[in-house]
Amino acid sequence: MTQMRINASRLNRSLEELGRFGDTPEGMQRIAFSPADIQGREYTISLMRQAGMETRIDSAGNIIGLRPGTVPGLPAIAMGSHTDTVPAGGKYDGALGVLGAVECIQTLTDNNINLRHPVEAIVFTNEEGTSFHRWLIGSRAMAGLLEPEDENPVDDLGVDLVTRMADIGGDWPKVSDAVRKPEELAAYFELHIEQGPTLHQTGIPIGVVTGITGRAMFEVEIVGTANHAGTTPMTHRHDALLSASKLTVAVNKLAAESETCRVSTVGSIEAHPNAVNVVPGSVKIGLEFRDLSMDALAAAEDEFRRATAKIGEDDGVQMEIYRHRFTDSVPIETDMQQLVEAASKNAGLAHMPVPSGAGHDAQAIASITKMAMVFVPSTEGISHAPQEYSTPEDCANGTQVLLELLLLADESL
Ligand SMILES: [Zn+2]
């Protein structure tokens, strides 16, 4: 076990201080590109400078703090996450990964330790995608994974991304400059709250992330016949909402009963004409499946299509399925999981493997370098809500593991 310890009270103070930007009675409102987000970014830059980092903002608005290494020409070991939040979000999602990274580097500086590799702390732009409805903007830009739809979208207030990027110091027309080559990075580590209940329930302080879930998204439009709710006999109805309800139950069973994939959710519904005295004529539902295995997602899609066809036939309604592009799952390599296990051991902390059910910047960065993630417990598994909470001890434990991981990686990579 190493003697070097992160400063738990300093870490937790910085979490509280960052959490003041965008704090409202309804939860955190640090939406990417908002004034609160910009204040949070400036605060983080000030901490990076205090820790002895040189800071820059790349063309995608990512903040990169750099501490040089001692061996010339070695690629950087990067750590980071995001400081934006969802509307009515929490203080820990993203913030812990960024402030944990800064705390690790501050600890190295305090102890006059110089690593072989350069070390970076990174704040990725608009991870949540609340702005522009395009998520992982900064990390996908860095990994060269932008899509045509990212070229210059307009947000809900009618302002384009080129303008918003300029507000935070980015330069979107030159976004290709933000792409990092694999030879520039040795590894990327992201500390994050679990956002699920496993660690909290088991009482184990550290999650060794096994991979980031894949996601399949669909919309279904169900067209029946709108008709008078008082005069149309039950035997003569083509009730689109009733068929949508049957499909909702079928989608739920696909994970809950047949376990074809890990989780399945119908999360949105629009009924027309949405009047209490009219048999619903048409309904749109949005649904998704998530699993680490893309084969499981394909099997879930098959089962869902069969259920949809059967309900359409039985009920005499039209069912149209719209398939969105699948998000690939990102498995984490065994040697990187083992490095997190060794880091937990060095920190004297128990650990267990956990999959990530949520998406993270790490999934984009994994396409250009080796990647590992460390999870800490989320109280009651709550996240993306004002009640999101990880104890000061949990946050400090995760940050200590991040430091041990950095030290191990510096020796072994
Ligand atoms: Zn996050």
Find all residues with CB under 8 Å of 74, minimum gap 6, and list them.
116, 117, 118, 186
The rounded Å distance from CA 260 to ligand 1 centre is 27
Cα angle at 256 between 252 and 257, to 5 degrees?
105
Q: How confident is the model at residue 1 (pLDDT cuts 50, 70, 90)?
A: very low
Q: What CATH architecture does domain 8-212+329-412 belong to? A: 3-Layer(aba) Sandwich (3.40)
The rounded Å distance from CA 146 to ligand 1 centre is 19
Please tell me the distance from the alpha carbon of residue 47 to that of residue 51, in angstroms, as a whole number.
6
Please tell me the distance from the alpha carbon of residue 325 to that of residue 285, in angstroms, as a whole number.
17
Model pTM score: 0.90
Q: Which two tokens stand for residue 251?
A: 């989608």
The rounded Å distance from CA 69 to ligand 1 centre is 28
The rounded Å distance from CA 302 to ligand 1 centre is 31
- Indicate the domain borders of the chain: 8-212+329-412, 214-323
- Dihedral sign from CA coordinates of 58, 102, 168, 83: positive
Q: How confident is the model at residue 296 (pLDDT cuts 50, 70, 90)?
A: very high
DSSP tag of 380: G
The rounded Å distance from CA 211 to ligand 1 centre is 15
The rounded Å distance from CA 78 to ligand 1 centre is 17
The predicted structure's pLDDT at residue 325: 83
The rounded Å distance from CA 83 to ligand 1 centre is 8
Read off the pLDDT of each residue in 365-371 and give the average, rounded to a whole number: 97
Please name the fold of domain 214-323.
Alpha-Beta Plaits (3.30.70)
The rounded Å distance from CA 381 to ligand 1 centre is 14
Q: Which two tokens stand for residue 108?
A: 């190295």
Reported as a single tens digit per residue, the pLDDT across 160-192 is 999 999 999 999 999 999 999 999 999 999 999
Give the bridge partners for 286, in sequence order.
219, 268
